[in-house]
Structure 1
Amino acid sequence: MTPSMARAVAPERAQMRKVLFILSELRDEDVEWLAMAGDRLRYPVGAELISYGSVVDSVYFVLDGTFSVLAANGELVAELSSGEVIGEMSLVDPARTTASVRAGEGASALRISHARMRDKLAADAPFAARFYRALSVFMSARMRQTTRRFGYGGMSQPDQPQADEISEELLEKAHLASLRFERLLKRLAS
Structure 2
Amino acid sequence: MSKILVILGELSDRDIDWMIANGARTLVPPGTTLITEGKPLDALYIILDGTLRVSVSSLADKELGTITSGEVLGEMSFVDGRLPSASIATIEECLILSIPRRLVAEKLEQDVLFSLRFYRAITKFL
Normalization by structure 1: what TM-score? 0.62
Q: Distance in 2 between matches of 1:21 and 1:78?
A: 21
Amino acid at match of 1:55: P
1:74 CA drift (Å)? 1.1
1:98 maps onto 2:67 in alignment: no
**2:35 maps to what in 1?**
50
Root-mean-square deviation over aligned CA pairs: 1.2
1:27 CA drift (Å)? 1.2
1:68 CA drift (Å)? 1.1
Amino acid at match of 1:62: I
The gaps in structure 2 that reach 5 residues or longer are: none
Amino acid at match of 2:48: L
- Which has more helix, going by share of residues? 1
The gaps in structure 1 that reach 5 residues or longer are: 1-16, 141-190
**1:165 maps to what in 2?**
none
- Which has more strand, going by share of residues? 2
1:125 CA drift (Å)? 0.6
Deviations 1:63-98 (A, max 9, x none): 010111111121222211111011111222332221
1:20 maps onto 2:33 in alignment: no
Give the count of matched residue pairs.
Answer: 123
Higher relative contact order (CA 8 A, sep 6+): 2
1:24 CA drift (Å)? 0.8
The percentage of aligned residue pairs carrying the same residue is 37
